[in-house]
Chains A and B, each alone.
Chain A
Amino acid sequence: KQEVTQIPAALSVPEGENLVLNCSFTDSAIYNLQWFRQDPGKGLTSLLLIQSSQREQTSGRLNASLDKSSGRSTLYIAASQPGDSATYLCAVLTGANNLFFGTGTRLTVIP
């Protein structure tokens, strides 16, 4: 059964720092991997989607990488801002039409 783990569970950084969030999954038979952002009491906002055949995706200050064979993905956030404070969720899509989510990394960017 697919299991998704995110490390660290929480992270506090001063504004302006670059940071990396980690995601690992146990079964490499995935179609894609997606990073989401969740604000308190809110829904999920999709940030980046990496197909299984891709190695990375970039959007603005965000860069996500995927190493399918080792079951790992990283989300790199450059020049962090207080508005980046949120919980970041990693999810992998399997052939069963459902997403397996990690428990998230709660990021706080301190002004």
Chain B
Amino acid sequence: NAGVMQNPRHLVRRRGQEARLRCSPMKGHSHVYWYRQLPEEGLKFMVYLQKENIIDESGMPKERFSAEFPKEGPSILRIQQVVRGDSAAYFCASSAGPSPGNTIYFGEGSWLTVV
């Protein structure tokens, strides 16, 4: 049973470009979470999604960031017009149901570098 798969693992973008990060949850998991880890900071919650629904996006920046979890395929975190401050590690996690009661499993992260 494969774990949470994220790709790309490393991504370099120039300022102004778009970054797309993909996350395939564990098999059987329909709940996905995205977290961001800025350099020298702790992980911060961004968004919580179920299939085709955004449940909680209270941690998402208001502009340039969007997330989706379609009925088929991986969850996508999209960052438009990237700036240097977007350079961070982006972690995806998944669970079989809402927590508590369901363990959250993390992927290995996608490291975005904006040059």
Given contacts A31-B99, A93-B100, contact A98 B45 (CB under 8 A): yes
The tally of CB-CB contacts under 8 A between chains A and B is 53
A20 close to B (CB within 8 Å): no
- Chain A residues lying within 8 Å of B104, measured Cβ to Cβ, are 99
Which residues of chain B (21-80) have a CB below 8 Å from chain A? 33, 35, 40-45, 48, 55-56, 58-59
Contact A89 B43 (CB under 8 A): yes
Q: Do the beta carbons of B107 and A32 come within 8 Å of each other?
A: no
* Interface presence of B86 (CB below 8 A): no
Residue tally, chain B, CB below 8 Å to A: 25
* Chain B positions within 8 Å of A98 at CB level: 33, 45, 48, 56, 59
Give the residues in chain B near A41, CB-CB below 8 Å.
Answer: 111
Q: Which chain A positions have C-beta within 8 A of B43?
A: 44, 89, 91, 99, 101
**A interface residues with partner B (beta carbon < 8 Å):** 4, 31-32, 36, 41-44, 46, 49, 51, 89, 91, 93, 96-104
